[in-house]
Each structure stands twice: as structure tokens, then as C-alpha cells.
Chains A and B, each alone.
Chain A
Amino acid sequence: MGPIARFKRSIIQLLAALLYNLNFEGFATGTIYQGDTKGVCVPGLNCYSCPGAIGACPIGSLQAALVASDQRLPLYIIGTILAFGALLGRTVCGWLCPFGFIQDLLDKVPLPKIRKGAWSRAFSWGKYVILFGLVIVAPIVLLNATGIGTPAFCAYLCPAGTLEAGIPLVAMNEDLRFMLGALFDWKVGVLVALLAVSLFVYRPFCRFFCPLGALYSFFNRFALLRYRVDEEACTSCGACLDVCKVDIRRVSDRECIQCGACVTSCKTSAIRFSLRDMLANNLHIDGSRRDDAPSEREEQRS
């Protein structure tokens, strides 16, 4: 991806982080926003309890709904996640997630980087384990065992929650501090460890731990807004796989975070964002070429 395009993605990531957290006064007072928009999920991993948050976290909401709902399936939250997935897939990860953004920034620090390999491809399964184990099963098990449906991912793992919510709230609101104990120490430890690892490994949380990324990954191959490979132009040279920092086997597969770093590596310009093609009227919505699309020669000239 060219430097200007990379900068634009960073700007959008920053805008998204600000958009999710417009309640700036919450940081000053150590309280959370309680208006009506908190009933709407933001697409990225942004803690409901972040003092600035004006929306809800999809993963937090999913856990809460699983143990609170009288219905068998929490339809509203599942529908919301389906909608984000179908529209964006893991474009959320690459463009609209504040915690992804923080890891991107840490990656810019000039330290030796540990490249991907078989080890990282293996660890990439971790996020599905966490999705199934901590987000879906654990709250239900805990509800039956203790009478309280603890959102296990939020409570025991989520570093985004610790960074955005736990630490700011505890710093500003002394009435919370009596509860601090081993669990808080553990959560802060997890956060510090992940931030430290992010200096040497690209986006470790997104690749190995994030249950939201795991959910969106199911949609990544067919989301409306994502990078696509023009199979006619692709020569299978593998340049995109080489330059990619996560563990894709193909562009836009379940590991792809839609960051676009592969685009400039392609010598035949086969990798394009789906929106561009639709706007330029070259492709139908399903990726097939329109009959009235200009020929490739004309395209290269324009």
C-alpha cells in the first residue's frame, strides 16, 4: 500500500475510534454514558464501559444477551453482528477497530519484528477457541453454576476493556477501588503483555485472541466491502502472500484483516477494493465482470 493510502487508513481508524467514544466528559468524571445510543453496537471492539463510549461492544453484548435473554437466541445482537459481517467482514478489523489501531501504531515502533510462520498460523486458531469457550460457553456455564452470567471474555481476558474502561474508570472514580484485587492485576498483566508483544509481533491480539475477528472471519470471503482478487488478472505469483503480515493463504480469506498492504505488491493490479469496482461500474456486486465494462487497455489508460 502506498504511503498516502496507508495514511488514509490510519485517519479512518482514528476517526472511528473518536466516533465510538464521543463522550469525552466521561473520562474527566470517571462515569459511563447512559444515553439511548448505548443500545446500538459499534462494529469494532470498543468496551461498553469505556467512559467515552456512546455505543455498545458487540462481543460484550453477545455475552450479556446469551445469559440474560428469555428467548433461546438473542436475535437483536446476532442480527447486528450478521449485518456488520455481511457488510464489512474483517474490514472492521483493518479500518474500524480502535484496539487494532493501537496495535498498528505499536507495530510502527522500530524494533526487530518476528515474522509470521507455521507457529503463527497455528496460533491463529486461538481466536476461535476463545470465541467458543469464553464468549459462548463460559457465560452459560457460569450462570448455571453461580447464578450470575459473567461475561467471561470481558471479565477474564479483554485487553481493550482494561485499557479503555478498567484503567480510566478506576483512575478517576475512587468508589470503585475497593473491588481491586487479583483479577484486576491479571487483566492489567494481560494488557501489558499484549502491548509489549505488539512491539515485536504484528497485531497479536487480532490474529490469535480476538473473538470478534473470529466472528467476522466467517464473512470475510463474501462481505460487500472488502479487497478482491481479479482472477483474470492474477498470475498466482504469491507476491501478496509474501508482503502480507498476517497468516493468509489467499487475499480476503479468514485471516485477512483487509488492510490493503498487498495491493501495491501486485504487478497486474489484480487486488482491488470491492467498492472501487462497483463505483467504477466494472463489476457486478458479486464480482463478475459487467458486459459494458471498459476493456483492460482502456482501464490502464484511465
Chain B
Amino acid sequence: MIRTARSNAHRALGLVLALALSLAALAGCSAPAAETDRGSAGSSGSANENGSAQAQKKAKVEEGVEAPDFEFETMDGQTAELSDYRGKVVVLTFWATWCGYCMRDMPELDKIDQAFDSVQIVAINRGDRNADAQAKAEELGYDFAWGLDEDGAIEALYPASGIPYTVVIDENGVVSTVFAGSAQDMYSYLEMAVTKAGA
């Protein structure tokens, strides 16, 4: 084969890319574990082939499924559980101080909270240091069940591609609606969802 100068360049580039591809493929093989490596006990180890091992360990959070129960640390250091709020329609929302759309949702959540007696907002922080989350909760001053999740244990039960991530749960602890984001007129969507859940 005549090794032209141009094909030398292509060969070198191809080699570099092949190398990078192999390295990245190795990294890619461990991709499923990355989602839960923030502290969820035991579920990160075996999920190597694809996500199916992980999926078996917890059900997808969707309508009709029982919302996974969890314990959370409140802003003043006590603990509470999601199931404490059985009998109410729970709007479980995950937020962060640096998340613009989460902050935009906050007054809407408060309006829903005021408008419906049987609604309880459970606002679990995701992705802040505890001190920052506590400061923001105090600054906002809403009467929510504020919670912390610094080790990501709750995130492992309610994984999402982003925040805000809001799950509306009926009085029996069954998931009624999931919002993977926030819309301009979020109040009307929340109102529809809590009404559907029986508020």
C-alpha cells in the first residue's frame, strides 16, 4: 500500500480517536452506577451492564405506583418521614437554591398550600450544602415541610434528570402526577394535579 502523506495524518487521527473511544467506552460501562453513587446503600455495586439491575431494585416513580417512603432531616435537625403525611395530598418537590425555576415555583407552591387545606408541601433540597438550604428556607419563610438530602439517599429513590422535580401523591401514598420540570403557569398545573389526587 502506498502510504501517502495524507493517509498518514488520517491514520494518526484515527488511532487517537480509536484510543479515546476505547477509554470512553470503559467509562461508559460504569455510567449506570453514577446515578446512585451518592450514598444510596448497596444499589451502585452491581449495575454494570445497563440500567436494568438498578431498575429492579426500585420501581419507577409514576402514576399508580406507591410513592417510596423515606426519612428526612428537617431544617431544625429533627427527622420526619414522608408517610407522616398520609391522609393529606402531598406535593413532594425537589429544589436547590441555584435552580432558577425551582425558586420561581416556590410562591406557586405556597399559593397551592394556602388554597387547599388538605395539601401538604414537602420540599426536599437536592444539590446544596445544608447551610445554604437552611438559609434559603428561612428566607422564604413558607410553611412547608422543608427537608435536607445531602447524602443523596432520597435522590436515589426519586431519580430525575433535573430539578424542579415534583411528585403529587394522594392521601393513600400513591403517586398521582409527576412533573419533570416547571411551566410558566405552574399554579394551574398544580391545581389540576392536587384536585385529581383528591384535595
Listed in ascending order, the chain A residues whose CB lies under 8 Å from chain B are: 5, 8-9, 11-12, 15-16, 18-19, 22-23, 25, 29, 31-37, 49, 54, 68, 95, 147-149, 169, 173, 175-176, 178-179, 181, 225, 260, 263, 272-273, 275-277, 279-280
Which of B4-12, B77-85, B143-151 touches A?
B4-12
- B107 at the binding interface (Cβ < 8 Å): no
13 additional A-B residue pairs with CB within 8 Å, beyond A68-B98, A178-B179: A23-B31, A25-B32, A32-B162, A33-B31, A34-B34, A34-B161, A35-B30, A54-B28, A175-B178, A225-B13, A275-B13, A276-B6, A277-B5
- B51 at the binding interface (Cβ < 8 Å): yes
> Among B30, B98, B161, B178, which residue has the most Cβ atoms of chain A within 10 A?
B161
C-alpha spacing A36/B159, complex, angstroms: 16
Contact A280 B27 (CB under 8 A): no
Contact B100 A148 (CB under 8 A): yes
Listed in ascending order, the chain B residues whose CB lies under 8 Å from chain A are: 5-10, 12-14, 17-18, 20-21, 24-25, 27-28, 30-32, 34-35, 50-51, 62, 98, 100-101, 103-104, 159-162, 178-183, 189
C-alpha spacing A147/B181, complex, angstroms: 17
The 3 closest A-B CB pairs, nearest first, are A35-B34, A22-B28, A148-B100
Sample (20) of A-B pairs whose CB atoms are under 8 Å apart? A16-B17, A19-B24, A22-B31, A23-B28, A25-B31, A34-B35, A35-B31, A35-B35, A49-B161, A54-B24, A54-B27, A68-B98, A148-B104, A149-B100, A178-B181, A178-B183, A179-B181, A225-B13, A260-B6, A275-B9
Q: With A31-B161, A34-B35, A36-B34 in contact, is A22–B25 under 8 Å at CB?
A: yes
Contact A33 B34 (CB under 8 A): yes
C-alpha spacing A275/B178, complex, angstroms: 53
Distance to closest chain A CB from B132 (angstroms): 13
Contact A5 B28 (CB under 8 A): no
B36's nearest neighbour on chain A, judged by CB, is A34
Contact B27 A12 (CB under 8 A): no
Q: With A19-B20, A19-B21, A276-B6 in contact, is A12–B31 under 8 Å at CB?
A: no
Residues of B within 8 A of A147 (CB): 100, 103-104
Contact B27 A276 (CB under 8 A): no
Contact B8 A279 (CB under 8 A): yes
C-alpha spacing A12/B64, complex, angstroms: 46
B55's nearest neighbour on chain A, judged by CB, is A29
C-alpha spacing A273/B159, complex, angstroms: 47
Contact A22 B5 (CB under 8 A): no
Label chain A's interface by main secondary structure: helix
Residues of A within 8 A of B10 (CB): 5, 8-9, 12
Contact A25 B51 (CB under 8 A): yes
C-alpha spacing A225/B25, complex, angstroms: 25
Distance to closest chain A CB from B82 (angstroms): 19
Distance to closest chain A CB from B50 (angstroms): 5
C-alpha spacing A54/B180, complex, angstroms: 21
Contact A11 B14 (CB under 8 A): yes
Residues of A within 8 A of B183 (CB): 178-179, 181
A23's nearest neighbour on chain B, judged by CB, is B31
Residues of A within 8 A of B180 (CB): 173, 175-176
Residues of B within 8 A of A68 (CB): 98
Contact B5 A37 (CB under 8 A): no
Distance to closest chain B CB from A236 (angstroms): 22
Contact A22 B159 (CB under 8 A): no
Residues of B within 8 A of A272 (CB): 5-6
Residues of A within 8 A of B179 (CB): 175, 178
C-alpha spacing A119/B19, complex, angstroms: 42
Distance to closest chain A CB from B64 (angstroms): 13
C-alpha spacing A272/B20, complex, angstroms: 25
C-alpha spacing A18/B189, complex, angstroms: 38
C-alpha spacing A8/B7, complex, angstroms: 9
Distance to closest chain B CB from A185 (angstroms): 15
A49's nearest neighbour on chain B, judged by CB, is B161
Q: With A54-B31, A148-B104, A276-B6 in contact, is A19–B17 under 8 Å at CB?
A: yes
Residues of B within 8 A of A279 (CB): 8-9, 12
Residues of B within 8 A of A280 (CB): 5, 8
Residues of A within 8 A of B7 (CB): 5, 8
B3's nearest neighbour on chain A, judged by CB, is A302
Residues of A within 8 A of B31 (CB): 22-23, 25, 33, 35, 54
